[in-house]
Amino acid sequence: MKIATWNINGVKARIDNLLAWLEESQPDIACLQEIKSVDENFPRLEIEALGYHVETHGQKGFNGVAILSKLRFDEVNRRLPGDETDEQSRFIEGVFSTSAGALRVVSLYLPNGNPVGTEKFPYKLGWMERLERWTAGRLALEEPLVLAGDYNVIAKPIDAKNPSAWVDDALFQPETREAFRRLEWLGMTDAIRAVTDEQLFTFWDYQAGAWQKDNGIRIDHLLLSPEAGRHLSSAAVEKHVRAWEKPSDHVPVAIDLALEAAA
């Protein structure tokens, strides 16, 4: 079973790329972030025509997450619990029936947090604390769980071409990296780092020739529970998508799990 995550950076602006990628890559489950669309305007018909079920948690103009799945959804949960005042659309969970029982897949778009020194950074850290609490609760179920998305976290220096350029950025602050490590300490595995120590990037800014210079960072991650991690067979960054016409500044990251849809 192939599960992928991609910050699409505007689904309507990049629908052609999305459809081309779905046909080329053939993920069984695709998690999208920054769809920048309300639910009723999401281009579901084009995606459903390729054999996908579509669930969204949208927001006008910015944010927004979605899960596209060839498997039928058994359950869908929107919004990260823990703060009833948080109206930003950044979290959706789908539950699916597989050969290993229930599989839980989350598409998440973690807050950027910049500029540090404004209310945006405490919001980021608070969101990560809520995610940690939620994840601990889900881990107690002892089911395969995949947290896929744009974390806006540069976890380690190797995850940036020029780490020194990010020392004042919210993505690379010690508190941010510690919060990410706490998720791992719960028992979650960074899928890419489970298969390679190679320096890989998932984001290249549109400015200053970042793509041409390969001046990137790795901020899109799939974290796996022990029950999901034991089924991991491969993980890869689909870097070539960044060279397509009118690209997102992010590229897809995909894993293969030795699971099958329930009969």
What amino acid positions are annotated as catalytic residues?
A: 109, 150, 250
Residues present in the chain in total = 263
- Residues 71, 84: Cα–Cα separation, whole Å: 31
The answer to whether 150 is a known ligand-binding residue is: yes
The answer to whether 162 is a known ligand-binding residue is: no
Residues 6+ apart with CB under 8 A from 99: 259, 260, 261, 262
| Local structure of residue 158 (DSSP, 8 states) | G
The answer to whether 34 is a known ligand-binding residue is: yes
Half-sphere exposure at residue 80, Cβ-oriented, CA atoms within 13 angstroms: 26
The answer to whether 240 is a known ligand-binding residue is: no
Strand partners of residue 4: 30, 254
The answer to whether 249 is a known ligand-binding residue is: yes
Nearest to 141 by CA among 185, 91, 102: 102
* Token digits of residue 70: 């060839």
Residue with the two structure tokens 């229930």 = 102
The answer to whether 112 is a known ligand-binding residue is: no
- Residues 4, 28: Cα–Cα separation, whole Å: 8
Annotated binding site: which residue ranges? 7, 34, 150, 152, 249-250
Annotated binding site for Mg(2+): which residue ranges? 7, 34, 150, 152, 249-250
